[in-house]
């Protein structure tokens, strides 16, 4: 597609990347077909192609972001379904990430919105604060229906309170940096991204991951200093905090590499995985030493199901006789193009795996999306749950805490893939999962 | 598709005409729809001959007055055929056999049993030349199998019964004729049962290319004695011989009924179905064709008292013969309307043809469009006036 | 270069009133777009080389809303550009400065599926593949399969009479329709056809199909659905030259086998598509055929054996029969993603859509290559070999105005060549705005005038999809309906 940037505009490295992405788009429109918001809203402006065009026009004219552009870019889930569909290889993620940062820089949101985004961007990456906030939310949740009105703010507040789980687990005694030795001879040494929100909401996921990996001969290190991957801030366009968090992780893992080497950085929340795998790109304009470190970490980053496929997984329990609807998290299937590994592992573990229709569509979770865009998120959730129900499963498995939270609370238990794999390899039965048939 | 002197002569004649013209090929379809009040005839009989045949490109062009059988035999020499299997209704309508022209079949858009699977005549008209009511020669489409250049006047002219233009040359898509034909014949079903079976057959993956049901009386008129006083449900499969053997057997198994007729018997049988030999010959009777969704076919058959008929196209085409009076016609109209379908009066005395709607009347806004389109093609209203709609 | 007529100044002056009128016709507040920033993405469709900002965009959710829009626009002399998914490769949905774009994307409901009568009724904004997806659980499918079938909408398919790779056997859109609900230019809602076969009067269904939005807006469509075959498998054959591959196509058709699809790619196309799909295309071949057959496994084996024997008579460089559904899917992924895949090797392309008698293929490809050399622009050719539909993809750089201008001229020359050898300008993409000015190469002036009169019969004031299909002329010189 034709672009209109001046030489001086292109001198800016971010604009140069945007130009490259835009040039690779041929405006064929295939991406519209698999975009969740286009499916629901039926407006070119809420499709990837429309957003690309809005962003292109905004960048070409050097215009500060306007309300119209912000509306439609905000509605993007960053599910990256469009990237799976695109035959021309348009890197939509880099374009929309840039646009979000550009918006944050040039657009002044209404006060209430700034507050919400600021608060979310500050609380969620900090587990202790987040845990306190959840407990508080729990206390006031019954008041949610008292929040009056249909304003976006009111709906967002109600959505946030609705998402707060009924029981917030207390801090895991094992939370924090630690080394978990391999049982038996050490076959590999990996760093686990302990993450932020996940270890508060569902500490059992990290526990299952560590149990399973150590049992399979991995030494697992939760590195000192590593924490939130930065994606939450990144996706809200909060560039500086995102880069700070990312760099903290890069440094923490680099120290582990220097200490005893690392075979992989393993991630069990696929939303984070997509971002860690992009660290190399995020630090592309940094001095070579930093850039190289970031690239090295990105190269080591693997999803837990990739790692298990690589090192080999075998169940030890008899077949559970359960049907699992596998929900493919967008960050796994589109962001990281991982589609077969989780299903193959679940089958190997002895589950019957079914795949709901419209598997390419996002469930509406998308980081903070279900709090910031509650209407669209709810419609997507309903649609997803309906498709899952049609497959008549006993439970749902997903590889991302966001999806698990979003889809929970309906008729079916929703658990992390790794928890099921751990169970079948000798770990405890995940909570809510029916007994072996 | 090349101009010819005969075509130019027709154009001159139309341009010079001051009064309505009856457009005539071989005259085998004069009995259809409404009678035309015309001062003189204009004929396509001078327009004969195949002008292009490219078997490897699946294309044949011929002038409109070319007898259809000539085209069919040329195709047969190359192992090809007309996809829509147009019928020869001469026995039914009491006209001269083997004389109908390509132009006549296209102008009336007549298709045979294969229509249900492979499309109508209109689906295979790739190109057309015609003389408009202005006396201008126009062409639409061409000699290739795919063409969306400009408005599709091929479709507009096909089935327009000579009211919008005089078709002078036609290019058709053709296909290799199947190596073998097989039939599953199931005796004794009533119409509803039969349509359910035909629906299952047409909804099977075996490429059914003919699906008809004939009550006992109609079945008795078929050349092959297959049902001995009972109704018969017929399902045709055409393909390579091995495929036909496999598919007829497989489908019969799935339907768990019927006997399989061999290639020779099948060909004879389906030719008779094609030519509507299962209806009593017209004589003084009226003949109607009703097109409805297949599941509504049996209801139409039953709704018309005093008429006899049978079902083709899986139930969607109802052929009816009955007393040529308004009562029968109104009953047929009502039945077709109730099933949201259409009717065509194929044959009747002029008195009835003049008195009734020979095809469903159009809603007021659509009728207005029809008038304007007629005006666009034939501003003086001289081509077959009144043939389809009174006053048009 | 494509010229667009000057917008009507009075309509531009009434812009706010037009937007207010549209708001009255469309219930949802977000269903009318009037601000310039939000209108920008609507300035083009799948042919992004041509762009024009519309006056406004309306996104109705029902036939009644479409009718209300049309009544308003008709009463106020406002032109209307219908739009589906905006995937047209001929600029069929290119806006006009004084026209309202009516986007039917929100009308995406499947209204009825009738398996007994093998048809389905859907709204215009349902995607082509959406119909198949809705009926595939019962083993049915909707046959026409344009390459953009994932995204393109059935309303657009009807208006362009879209084809696809499988129309050699199953026909194009026109052959697979039973009924339409249309809205006329003055806002009348009309039903055309229904669930039955063939019209008794004039074949409006046939005329409306492929009419490129010139005659009416299509809001609902009843399509035939077919039972899927027992199975299908594709084979790939690579050849040392276009001539040999062309001769092989002739032999296949002459043998009496009609493969369900018969696709031809030349060397640049093979390379671009393989890079995207990893389907095992023969990278050393000059030309490749994708041949697909259907039936039971035994029938497939039988047909593929016959076809292999035919191919072998033409000394193929490679011959590969797919062994699994996955392999066949990969083969088609490459073909169906071909246009986008070209986007990986060239920033921009123009996709031509001429049709030629199949016997002329080698000759035409040679002449296209000569033109390619003389213009200095690369071209990849994809060809529906069974039906003669040729898609040369001309690669250029849109940021270089000379390059685009050369590509346009090159494309026009190819299409003129198609007509010259007995073919036509467009097989399935439509005339749109792209080929509008080439129409006189295929039609005499009096023939175009005849088509214009038909247009006038439906749209006396020429408000529908202006400046497409017919070469421009002054409004005063347009024919009026009789």
Reported as type and span, the H/E element at residue A379 is helix A374-390
pLDDT digits (tens, 9 = 90+) for A281-295: 999 999 999 999 999
Calpha distance C118→C143 (Å, rounded): 12
Using CB atoms, which residue from B148, B204, B389 is nearest to C160? B148
Calpha distance A164→A145 (Å, rounded): 14
Calpha distance A200→A169 (Å, rounded): 7
Calpha distance C245→C282 (Å, rounded): 13
Within-domain flag for A219: yes
C30: closest CA of chain B, how far (Å): 32
Q: Are C430 and B148 inside 8 Å of each other by CB?
A: yes
C257 in contact with B, Cβ within 8 Å: yes
Chain C residues with CB-CB distance to B207 below 8 A: 229
Does residue A300 share a domain with residue A193?
A: yes
Give me the architecture of the B5-176 domain, per CATH.
2-Layer Sandwich (3.30)
Reported as type and span, the H/E element at residue A220 is strand A218-222
| CB < 8 Å from C in window 86-145 of A | 86-89
Say what the pLDDT of residue C482 is. 52
pLDDT at C276 over 80: no
Residue ranges of E strands in chain B:
21-24, 40-43, 50-54, 59-63, 80-82, 125-132, 137-141, 165-176, 180-187, 208-214, 232-239, 259-261, 286-291, 308-312, 317-322, 342-347
pLDDT digits (tens, 9 = 90+) for C344-370: 788 899 999 999 999 899 899 999 999
C408: closest CA of chain A, how far (Å): 15
Give me the architecture of the B180-274 domain, per CATH.
2-Layer Sandwich (3.30)
Using CB atoms, which residue from C160, C196, C424 is nearest to B316? C196
- Binning pLDDT at 50, 70 and 90, where does residue C332 land? confident
A31 in contact with C, Cβ within 8 Å: yes
| Number of residues that this document lists for chain A | 437
B201: closest CA of chain C, how far (Å): 10
Does residue A189 share a domain with residue A152?
A: no
Does residue A46 share a domain with residue A102?
A: yes
pLDDT digits (tens, 9 = 90+) for B129-165: 999 999 999 999 999 999 999 999 999 999 999 999 9
C117 in contact with B, Cβ within 8 Å: yes
Calpha distance A415→A198 (Å, rounded): 12
Chain B residues with CB-CB distance to C253 below 8 A: 55-58, 176
Which residue among A261, A290, A308 closes a domain?
A: A308
CA distances from C445 to A95, B16, B137, C212 (A): 49, 22, 12, 20
Give the number of other Cβ atoms within 10 Å of residue C66's Cβ: 28
Does residue A298 share a domain with residue A319?
A: no
pLDDT digits (tens, 9 = 90+) for C105-121: 999 999 999 999 999 99
- Binning pLDDT at 50, 70 and 90, where does residue C75 land? very high
Within-domain flag for A111: no
C87: closest CA of chain A, how far (Å): 6
| Nearest C-alpha neighbor of A127 from the set A172, A191, A179 | A172
Q: Are B205 and C457 inside 8 Å of each other by CB?
A: no
C423: closest CA of chain B, how far (Å): 6
Q: Domain limits at A329?
A: 314-424
Does residue A290 share a domain with residue A192?
A: yes
C473 in contact with A, Cβ within 8 Å: no
CA distances from B103 to A160, B25, B62, B66, B67 (A): 72, 7, 9, 8, 9
Q: What region does B81 belong to: left with phi over 0, alpha with psi -120 to 50, or beta?
A: beta
Q: Are B205 and C230 inside 8 Å of each other by CB?
A: yes
Within-domain flag for A82: yes
Give the number of other Cβ atoms within 10 Å of residue B103's Cβ: 29
- The residue in chain C having the minimum alpha-carbon distance to the alpha carbon of residue A32 is C151
Calpha distance C147→A30 (Å, rounded): 10
8 A C-beta contact, residue C353 and residue C428:
yes
Average pLDDT over every residue of C262-280: 90
Chain A residues with CB-CB distance to C349 below 8 A: 26
pLDDT < 50 stretches in chain B: none
Which residue among A292, A308, A324 closes a domain?
A: A308
Say what the pLDDT of residue B9 is. 96
Within-domain flag for A431: no
C208 in contact with A, Cβ within 8 Å: no
Calpha distance A81→A333 (Å, rounded): 8
Using CB atoms, which residue from A3, A57, A357 is nearest to C399? A3
Calpha distance C327→C241 (Å, rounded): 25
8 A C-beta contact, residue C226 and residue B207:
no
| Nearest C-alpha neighbor of A80 from the set A284, A365, A332, A385 | A332
Using CB atoms, which residue from A31, A42, A66 is nearest to C108? A42
Within-domain flag for A392: yes
Looking up residue A11, the CATH number of its domain turns out to be 1.10.1060.10
8 A C-beta contact, residue B155 and residue B40:
no
Characterize A66-85 residue by residue with b for buried, 16 or more Cβ atoms within 10 angstroms of its Cβ, and e for exposed: bebbbebbbbbbbbbbbbbb
Using the 8-state DSSP alphabet, how is residue B91 labeled? H
| Nearest C-alpha neighbor of C144 from the set A359, B148, B159 | B148
Chain B residues with CB-CB distance to C198 below 8 A: 109, 111, 115, 120, 122, 159, 291, 342
Does residue A275 share a domain with residue A207?
A: yes
pLDDT digits (tens, 9 = 90+) for C47-61: 999 999 999 999 999
Query: How confident is the prediction for chain C on average, in pLDDT?
Result: 94
8 A C-beta contact, residue C259 and residue C292:
yes
| Nearest C-alpha neighbor of C404 from the set C392, C414, C396, C412 | C396
Does residue A287 share a domain with residue A192?
A: yes
Domain ranges of chain B: 5-176, 180-274
Distance of CA B261 to the CA centre of its chain: 26
Chain B residues with CB-CB distance to C196 below 8 A: 291-293, 316, 339-342
pLDDT one digit per residue (tens) for chain A, 437 residues: 999 999 999 999 999 999 999 999 999 999 999 999 999 999 999 999 999 999 999 999 999 999 999 999 999 999 999 999 998 889 999 999 999 999 999 999 999 999 999 999 999 999 989 998 988 888 887 777 778 888 888 888 888 888 888 777 888 777 889 999 999 999 999 999 998 899 899 999 999 999 999 999 999 999 999 999 999 999 999 999 999 999 999 999 999 999 999 999 999 999 999 999 999 999 999 999 999 999 999 999 999 999 999 999 999 999 999 999 999 999 999 999 999 999 999 999 999 999 999 999 999 999 999 999 999 999 999 999 999 999 999 999 999 999 999 999 888 999 999 999 999 999 999 999 987 65
Q: Are A33 and C129 inside 8 Å of each other by CB?
A: yes
C402 in contact with A, Cβ within 8 Å: no
Say what the pLDDT of residue C481 is. 57
B117: closest CA of chain C, how far (Å): 9
Within-domain flag for A353: yes
pLDDT digits (tens, 9 = 90+) for B12-48: 999 999 999 999 999 999 999 999 989 899 999 999 9
C209 in contact with B, Cβ within 8 Å: yes
Q: Are B293 and C201 inside 8 Å of each other by CB?
A: no
- Provide the number of structural domains found in chain A: 4
CA distances from B363 to B286, B368, C190 (A): 26, 9, 8
Reported as type and span, the H/E element at residue B371 is helix B364-377
pLDDT digits (tens, 9 = 90+) for B170-201: 999 999 999 999 999 999 999 999 999 999 99
pLDDT at C238 over 60: yes
CA distances from B235 to A196, B316, B318, C68 (A): 67, 14, 16, 48
Does residue A153 share a domain with residue A63?
A: no
Q: What is the 3-state secondary structure (H, E, C) of chain C?
A: CCCCCCCCHHHHHCHHHHHHHHHHHCCCHHHEECCHHHHHHHHCCCCCCCCCCCCEEECCCCHHHHHHHHHHHHHCCCEEEEECCCCCCCCCCCCCCCEEEEECCCCCCEEEEECCCCEEEEECCCEHHHHHHHHHHHCEECCCCCCCCCCCEHHHHHHHCCCCCCHHHHCCHHHHEEEEEEECCCCCEEEEECCCCCCCCCCHHHHHCCCCCCCCEEEEEEEECEECCCCEEEEEEEECCHHHHHHHHHHHHHCCCCCCEEEEEEHHHHHHHHHHHCCCCCCCCCEEEEEEEECCHHHHHHHHHHHHHHHHCCCCCEEEECCCHHHHHHHHHHHHCHHHHHHHHCCEEEECCEECCHHHHHHHHHHHHHHHHHHCCCEEEEEECCCCEEEEEEEECCCCHHHHHHHHHHHHHHHHHHHHCCCECCCCCCCCCCCHHHHHHHCCHHHHHHHHHHHHHHCCCCCECCCCCCCCCCHHHCCCCC
Calpha distance C452→C462 (Å, rounded): 10
Largest CA distance in chain A: 67
| Nearest C-alpha neighbor of A125 from the set A252, A230, A275, A240 | A230
Complex prediction ipTM = 0.97
Within-domain flag for A182: yes
Q: Are C347 and A23 inside 8 Å of each other by CB?
A: yes
Chain C residues with CB-CB distance to A44 below 8 A: 41-42, 86, 103, 105
pLDDT at C432 over 70: yes
Q: Are B55 and C358 inside 8 Å of each other by CB?
A: no
Q: What region does C213 belong to: left with phi over 0, alpha with psi -120 to 50, or beta?
A: left
Does residue A289 share a domain with residue A338?
A: no
Sheet holding A188-192, edge to edge: A178-180, A218-222, A188-192, A264-267, A301-303
Does residue A372 share a domain with residue A345?
A: yes
Phi, psi of B155 (to 5 degrees): -70, -40
Whether chain B lies against chain A with 3 or more Cβ pairs closer than 8 A is no
Within-domain flag for A1: no
Average pLDDT over every residue of C430-440: 97
Say what the pLDDT of residue A149 is. 82
């Amino acid at each position: 597609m034709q672009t209109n940037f001046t030489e001086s505009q292109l001198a800016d490295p971010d604009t140069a990347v945007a130009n490259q992405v835009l040039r690779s788009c041929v405006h064929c429109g295939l991406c519209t077909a698999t975009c969740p918001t286009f499916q629901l809203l039926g407006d070119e402006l809420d499709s990837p192609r429309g957003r690309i065009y809005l962003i292109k026009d905004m960048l070409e004219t050097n215009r500060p972001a306007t309300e119209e552009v912000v509306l439609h870019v905000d509605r993007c889930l960053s599910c990256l379904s469009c990237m799976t569909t695109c035959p021309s290889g348009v890197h939509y993620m880099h374009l929309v990430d840039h646009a979000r940062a550009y918006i944050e820089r040039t657009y002044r949101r209404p006060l209430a919105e700034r507050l919400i985004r600021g608060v979310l961007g500050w609380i969620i990456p900090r587990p202790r604060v987040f845990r306190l906030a959840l407990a508080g939310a729990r206390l006031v949740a019954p008041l949610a229906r008292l929040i009056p009105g249909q304003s976006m703010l009111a709906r967002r507040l109600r959505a946030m309170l609705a998402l707060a789980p009924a029981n917030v687990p207390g801090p895991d005694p094992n939370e924090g940096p630690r080394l978990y030795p391999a049982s038996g001879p050490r076959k590999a040494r990996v760093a686990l991204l302990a993450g932020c929100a996940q270890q508060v909401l569902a500490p059992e996921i990290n526990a299952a991951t560590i149990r399973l990996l150590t049992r399979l001969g991995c030494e697992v290190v939760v590195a000192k200093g590593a924490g939130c991957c930065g994606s939450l801030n990144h996706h809200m366009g909060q560039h500086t905090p995102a880069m700070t968090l990312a760099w903290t992780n890069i440094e923490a893992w680099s120290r582990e590499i220097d200490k005893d080497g690392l075979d992989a950085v393993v991630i069990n929340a696929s939303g984070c995985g997509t971002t860690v795998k992009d660290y190399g790109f995020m630090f592309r304009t940094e001095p070579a030493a930093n850039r190289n470190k970031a690239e090295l970490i990105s190269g080591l980053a693997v999803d837990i199901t990739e790692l298990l496929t690589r090192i080999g997984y075998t169940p030890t329990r008899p077949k559970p006789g359960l049907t699992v609807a596998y929900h493919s998290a967008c960050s796994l299937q589109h962001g990281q193009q991982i589609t077969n590994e989780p299903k193959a592992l679940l089958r190997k573990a002895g589950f019957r795996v079914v795949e709901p229709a419209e598997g390419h569509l996002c469930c509406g979770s998308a980081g903070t999306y279900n709090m910031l865009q509650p209407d669209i998120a709810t419609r997507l959730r309903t649609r997803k749950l309906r498709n899952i129900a049609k497959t008549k499963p006993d439970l749902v498995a997903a590889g991302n805490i966001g999806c698990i939270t979003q889809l929970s609370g309906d008729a079916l238990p929703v658990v992390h893939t790794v928890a099921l794999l751990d169970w079948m390899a000798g770990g405890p039965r995940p909570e809510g999962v029916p007994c072996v048939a | 598709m090349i101009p010819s002197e005969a075509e130019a002569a027709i154009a001159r004649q139309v341009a010079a005409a001051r009064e309505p013209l009856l457009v005539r090929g071989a005259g085998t379809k004069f009995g259809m729809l409404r009678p035309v009040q015309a001062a003189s005839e204009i004929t396509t009989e001078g327009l004969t001959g195949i002008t292009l045949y490219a078997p490897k490109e699946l294309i044949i062009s011929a002038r409109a007055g070319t007898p259809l059988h000539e085209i069919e035999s040329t195709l047969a020499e190359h192992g090809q055929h007309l996809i829509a299997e147009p019928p020869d209704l001469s026995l039914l309508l009491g006209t001269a056999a083997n004389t109908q022209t390509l132009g006549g079949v296209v102008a009336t858009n007549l298709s045979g049993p294969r229509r249900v699977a492979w499309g109508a005549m209109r689906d295979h008209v790739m190109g057309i030349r015609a003389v408009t009511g202005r006396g201008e020669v126009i062409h639409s489409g061409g000699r290739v199998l795919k063409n969306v250049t400009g408005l599709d006047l091929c479709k507009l002219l096909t089935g327009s019964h000579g009211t919008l233009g005089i078709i002078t040359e036609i290019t058709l898509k053709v296909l290799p004729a199947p190596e073998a034909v097989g039939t599953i014949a199931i005796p004794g079903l009533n119409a509803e049962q039969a349509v359910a079976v035909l629906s299952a057959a047409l909804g099977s993956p075996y490429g059914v290319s003919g699906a008809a049901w004939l009550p006992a009386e109609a079945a008795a008129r078929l050349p092959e004695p297959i049902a001995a006083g009972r109704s018969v449900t017929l399902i045709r499969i055409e393909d390579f011989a091995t495929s036909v053997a496999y598919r007829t057997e497989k489908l019969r198994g799935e339907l768990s009924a019927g006997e399989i007729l061999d290639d020779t018997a099948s060909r004879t049988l389906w030719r008779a179905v094609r030519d509507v030999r299962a209806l009593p010959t017209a004589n003084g009777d009226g003949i109607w064709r009703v097109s409805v969704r297949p599941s509504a076919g049996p209801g139409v058959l039953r709704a018309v008292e005093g008429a006899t008929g049978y079902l083709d196209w899986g139930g969607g085409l109802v052929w009816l013969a009955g007393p040529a009076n308004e009562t029968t016609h109104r009953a047929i109209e009502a039945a077709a309307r109730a099933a949201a379908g259409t009717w065509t009066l194929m044959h009747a005395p002029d008195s009835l043809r003049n008195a009734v709607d020979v095809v469903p009347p159009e809603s007021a806004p659509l009728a207005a469009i029809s008038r304007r389109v007629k005006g666009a093609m034939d501003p003086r209203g001289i081509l077959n006036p009144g043939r389809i709609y009174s006053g048009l | 270069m494509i010229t667009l007529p000057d917008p009507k100044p009075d309509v531009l002056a009434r812009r706010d009133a037009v937007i207010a009128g549209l708001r009255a016709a469309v219930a949802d507040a977000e269903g009318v777009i009037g601000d310039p920033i939000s209108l920008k993405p609507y300035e083009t469709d799948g042919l992004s080389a041509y762009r024009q900002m519309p006056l406004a965009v309306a996104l109705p959710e029902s036939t009644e809303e479409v009718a209300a829009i049309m009544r308003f626009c008709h009463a106020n002399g406002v032109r209307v550009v219908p739009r589906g998914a905006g995937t047209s490769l001929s600029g069929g949905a290119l806006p006009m400065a004084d026209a309202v774009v009516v986007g039917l994307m929100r009308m995406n409901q499947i209204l009825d599926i009738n398996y007994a009568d093998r048809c389905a009724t859907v709204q215009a904004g349902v995607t082509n593949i959406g119909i198949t997806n809705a009926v595939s659980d019962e083993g049915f499918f909707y046959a026409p399969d344009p390459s953009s079938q994932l995204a393109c909408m059935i309303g657009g398919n009807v208006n362009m009479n879209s084809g696809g790779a499988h129309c050699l056997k199953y026909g194009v859109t026109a052959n697979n329709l039973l009924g339409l609900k249309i809205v006329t230019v003055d806002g009348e809602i009309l039903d055309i056809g229904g669930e039955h076969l063939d019209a008794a009067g004039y074949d409006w269904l046939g005329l409306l199909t492929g009419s490129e939005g010139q005659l009416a807006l299509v809001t609902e469509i009843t399509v035939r659905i077919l039972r899927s075959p027992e199975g299908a498998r594709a084979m790939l054959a690579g050849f040392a030259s276009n001539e040999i591959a062309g001769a092989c196509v002739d032999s296949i058709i002459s043998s009496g086998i009609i493969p369900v699809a018969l696709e031809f790619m030349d060397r640049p196309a093979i390379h671009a598509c393989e890079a995207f799909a990893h389907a095992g295309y023969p990278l050393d071949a000059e030309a490749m055929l994708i041949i697909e057959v259907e039936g039971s496994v035994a029938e497939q084996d039988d047909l593929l054996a016959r076809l292999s024997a035919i191919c072998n008579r033409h000394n193929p460089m490679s011959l590969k029969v797919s062994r699994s559904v996955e392999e066949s899917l990969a083969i088609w992924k490459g073909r169906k993603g071909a246009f986008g895949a070209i986007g990986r090797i060239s920033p921009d392309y123009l996709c031509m859509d001429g049709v030629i008698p199949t016997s002329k293929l080698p000759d035409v490809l040679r002449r296209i290559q000569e033109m390619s050399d003389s213009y200095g622009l690369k071209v990849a050719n994809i060809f529906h070999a069974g039906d003669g539909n040729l898609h040369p993809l001309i690669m250029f750089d849109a940021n270089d105005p000379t390059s685009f201008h050369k590509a346009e001229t090159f494309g026009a020359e190819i299409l003129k060549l198609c007509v010259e050898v007995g073919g036509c300008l467009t097989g399935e993409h439509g005339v749109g705005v792209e080929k509008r000015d080439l129409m006189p190469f295929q039609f005499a002036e009096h023939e175009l005038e005849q088509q214009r009169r038909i247009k006038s019969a439906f749209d006396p004031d020429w408000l529908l999809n202006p400046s497409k299909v017919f070469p421009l002329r002054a409004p005063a010189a347009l024919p009026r309906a009789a």
